[in-house]
Structure 1
Amino acid sequence: MKIVVQVKLMPEAEQAAALSVTLHTVNEAANWVSAVAFERGVPREYELRRHTYGELRARGLGAQAAQHIIKKTRDAYTTLKANIKAQNLEKPGSKRRVKAETKPITFRREAAQPYDDRCLSWQYDAQTVSIWTTAGRIKNVRFACSPDALKALREHRQGESDLIERDGVFYLIATCDVPEAEQYEPDHFIGVDLGIANIATTSTGHKAAGRGLNRHRKRQFDLRKKLQAKGTKSAKRLLKKRNRREQRHAANTNHIIAKTIVTEAERTSAGISLEELKGIRQRVRLRKPWGHLPAEGWGRVALHSWAFARLADFIVYKARRAGVPVVFVDPAYTSQQCCECGHIDKKNRPSQALFTCRNCGVVAHADRNASHNIARKGEAVWTAGRESRVPATP
């Protein structure tokens, strides 16, 4: 299983200057390669190399760096083609689609540059790296990371690492191929219901309330509106900084929630049952009152900006590392069905938070009721997917 480990570089002043110049140079070269590729109809990597490699070497770039620039550019066009095919850039003729199809891909000055083991070497005991730059190879560049990240790098790092710059700080992003734990046979399943008012509610009683996070995001939303209205260069710079801060905060929240759920499942020898995420933004509705926020404006932003899939991805990869079984189930009627008697009725949900069964009279929190339904479906999916233990017919 592949995971990403990020380490922070702590270079001296001269080393930082060399790294900054290197990123600017390689990305400027990548923009030139992109223009050539666009003019020639985005040829295959081998043909693109034939048209650009000599010029890149003439610009003073190393052989490996030139190869990585060409590959990075070609991969960017491959990704663009896949996004267009999947209609992630809207329909043909839309402003966004036309802009993507009629201009060469451009790279930011601080965009990531891949490094292989010929250009980058790690000294784990000293926590330093030796890295190629346009000013020559610089050694003893210190890096900082957690003990767990250092252990993963030492034991499982494979392939290339990316050098990036964010707000004047340099990071190396390495890929580690970590072995998965052996999956055990679960005694039962924990159902997880995802939402906005409550980010995640489990059938064991854990509830990750969204009130604090939604307040934080509402403050960020209001600040963005003010900065966008101001429109100055400093306001735009602060907007980018604030956007990254909110992304980090949301990712950290998702990590904490996922770890809590997986740890509980591992401790109780349970599996985890999640809803299929397709169409979740249509299923999760904005009801009034919902945190006293209107359906339009901020409420609409809150719904469509929350990373449901990312939380599910965190749960899945943490579960795989721990050997916890995970299944995905059909979410149909999980919010309308009574977990006690099985009665399905839209009227069972008089409000966003309340579930009242019209058949047996059970009153429960709506998300808790849904999580029990998801858990039951998970057990059915797991049982149906297991290998038959019935002896073969003689």
Structure 2
Amino acid sequence: MKLVVQVKLLADAATEQALRETLKLCNRAACHAAARAHATGIKGKTALQRLVYGELKAMGLSAQPAIHCVRKVAGAYATLAQNLKAGHYGPQGSRRRAAVEGGPVRFRKDAAQPFDDRSLSWQIDARTVSIWTVHGRLKSIPFACSPAQAKMLAACRQGESDLVWRGGCFYLYATCEVPPALEYVPDGFTGVDLGIVNIATTSDGTVHSGNQVNRVRHRNRRLRTRLQSKGTKSAKRLLRHLSGREARFAADTNHRISKQIVTEAQRTTHGIALEDLGGIRARVRLRKPQRVTLHSWSFAQLGAFIAYKAQRAGVPVEFVDPRHTSQQCSACGHIHKQNRPDQATFQCTSCGFAEHADVNAARNIAARGTAGWAVSHAADDAA
């Protein structure tokens, strides 16, 4: 299981300047490689490296940073090809798609740059790193991290680390390969229904309300509208700050909710059943105010947080078909649109069972998780 440990570099003014110039040169080289790839049609990693390696070295890069710039460009073009294939930039012939296809991939001057162990070394006990820069190798750059992060870095760090400039500070994002905990046999499943009014509702009746979250998001949305209409440099600067703040707010909220859900499931030796919400934005049909809320909240992130926290704790997770979970009666199984007279209420038109609508949906998800687990493990036992 891959996890990312983020540490903050405590760089002095001279070190910070060297690191900024390094990022600037690496991304200028990446833009050059991207332009050559677009002009020649050579976008594979190996072929592109043969084409531009000498040119990137001539720009002032050492061997490993030059190779990583090529890999970054090849990866960006591979991602672009997947997005075009999936239709994320519109259909063939659309203006947006034509604009994307008509020019090379571009990189911000301070975009993240990967470093491997040849150009970046860690001294975990001393809390320092040594890193290649355009001014030579800088040694003993202090960094800040928690004891738990240091322990994970020492035991599990593998592969590359990304140098990131964010919010006026430098960070290193290190990839760690953490072994998952041994998964136990669940004594039932806890269903989790994700929603807009209530961010998450579990089958045991716990409701994580979205009232405060929605108030913050609506306030930020109104502020963004005013700043966008103003259009000044200071307004654009504040917009960038708001964007980062809202993303951090969403991630923090999702982390806290997912931790509570996983901790409770572990305490009760339950598994966790989640809806498979892939493509939800394309499937659902909502009024415009609800569409804005749906598209601005990271349901996928919350589900991913629950999944990886559960894996670290050994909690089994089942993803189930989300169809009709909100219209099906958890008591008798009857499915009908009229079972949901309003957003918060469920009342079965067949047996008369009544319950909070999100709790009812979560119970359906739990039942499907139990059935899915039984089927998959019956097949494993038979094999």
Aligned partner of 2:346 among 350, 355, 366: 355
User: How far off is 1:137 after superposition?
Assistant: 0.8
Would you say the 8 A contact 1:42–1:77 is kept in 2? no
Aligned to 1:341: 332
Structure 1 Cα separation of the partners of residues 331 and 378 of structure 2: 29
CA distance in 2, matches of 1:333, 1:282: 17
Query: In structure 1, what residue type is equivalent to 2:110?
Result: E
Which runs of structure 2 are paired with 1:199-348 in the superposition (5 Å)? 199-281=199-281, 286=286, 295-296=287-288, 298-348=289-339
Aligned partner letter, 1:274? L
1:325-355, CA deviations, whole angstroms, 9 ceiling, x for partnerless residues? 1111112221111112222221111100011
CA contact (8 A) 1:195 1:284 kept: no
Moved more, 272-281 or 374-383: 272-281
Amino acid of the residue matched to residue 276 of structure 2?
E
Structure 1 stretch displaced more, 333-342 or 349-358: 333-342
Distance 1:122 1:335, change over 3 A: same
CA deviations 1:225-266 (Å, max 9, x no partner) are: 001000011211211111111011101111111111111111
Matched-pair identity in % = 56
Q: Partner of 1:137: helix, strand, or coil?
A: strand
Q: Match for 2:341: what amino acid?
A: P
For 1:232, give the aligned amino acid: T
Give the counterpart letter for 2:321 in structure 1: D
**Residue type of the partner of 2:101?**
E
2:299 & 2:203 partners in 1: Cα distance? 18
Which one-letter code corresponds to 2:322 in the other structure? P
Aligned partners of 1:48 and 1:265: how far apart in 2?
A: 49
Q: Per-residue displacement from partner, 1:342-384 (whole Å, max 9, x unpaired)? A: 2222111110001112222222110001111111111111111
Cα deviation, residue 280, structure 1: 3.0
**Structure 1 residues 391 and 59: CA distance shift in structure 2, 3 A:** closer
Q: Which residue of 2 aligns with 1:2?
A: 2
1:5 counterpart SS class: strand
1:364 corresponds, among 331, 348, 355, to 355
- Offset of residue 285 of structure 1: 6.0
User: After superposition, what is the alpha-carbon deviation per residue over 1:37-83, rounded to whole angstroms, capped at 9, x for unaligned?
Assistant: 11111343233222221122222211111111111111111111111
- Cα RMSD for the two superposed structures: 1.7
Distance 1:149 1:31 in 2: 34
User: Amino acid of the residue matched to residue 92 of structure 2?
Assistant: P
Question: How far apart, CA to CA, are the structure 2 residues paired with 1:184 and 1:78?
Answer: 38
TM-score, normalization by structure 1? 0.93
Letter in 2 for 1:271: G
Q: What is aligned with 1:92? A: 92
Deviation string for 1:196-218 (max 9, x for gaps)?
A: 00000001121110000010000
AA paired with 1:365?
Answer: H
More deviation, 44-53/3-12:
44-53
Q: Secondary structure at the match of 2:110?
A: coil
Q: Provide, for residues 267-302 of structure 1, a one-character-per-residue CA deviation record: whole Å limited to 9, x for no partner.
A: 11101111121343467665xxxxxxxx43x43311
CA distance in 1, matches of 2:380, 2:44: 51
List per-residue Cα deviations over 1:126-150 (Å, max 9, x = no partner). Answer: 1111111000111111111222222
Cα separation, partners in 2 of 1:117 and 1:389, compared to 1, 3 Å: closer
**SS where residue 105 of structure 2 aligns?**
coil
Change (3 A) 1:53 1:358: same
Change (3 A) 1:165 1:389: closer
Aligned residues: 383
Query: By how many angstroms is 1:10 displaced?
Result: 1.1
**Kept after mapping to 1: 8 A contact 2:187/2:271:** yes
Q: In structure 1, give the amino acid aligned to 2:185.
A: E
Report the Cα offset of residue 178 of structure 1: 0.1
1:391 to 1:278, Cα distance in 2 relative to 1, 3 A: closer
Runs of at least 4 residues of structure 1 off by over 6 A? 389-392
Q: Aligned equivalents of 2:173 and 2:279: distance in 1? A: 32
Structure 2, unmatched stretches of 5+, are none
Q: Is the 8 A contact 2:320 2:369 kept in 1?
A: yes
Contact 1:33 1:73 in 2 (8 A): yes
**Do the aligned residues in 1 keep the contact of 2:43 with 2:77 (CA within 8 Å)?**
no
- SS of the residue aligned with 1:111? coil
The 3-state SS of whatever aligns with 2:136 is coil
Residue range with higher mean Cα deviation, 275-284 or 34-43: 275-284
Task: Tell me the SS of whatever aligns to 1:386.
Answer: helix
Change (3 A) 1:196 1:285: farther
Unaligned residue ranges in structure 1 (runs of 5+): 287-294
Partner-residue secondary structure (3-state), 2:22: helix
Pairs within 5 Å for 1:97-246? 97-246=97-246
* Matches of 2:14 and 2:3, distance apart in 1: 32
Q: Which 10-residue stretch deviates more, 354-363 or 41-50? A: 41-50
Aligned to 1:79: 79
Greater displacement, 77-86 / 101-110: 77-86
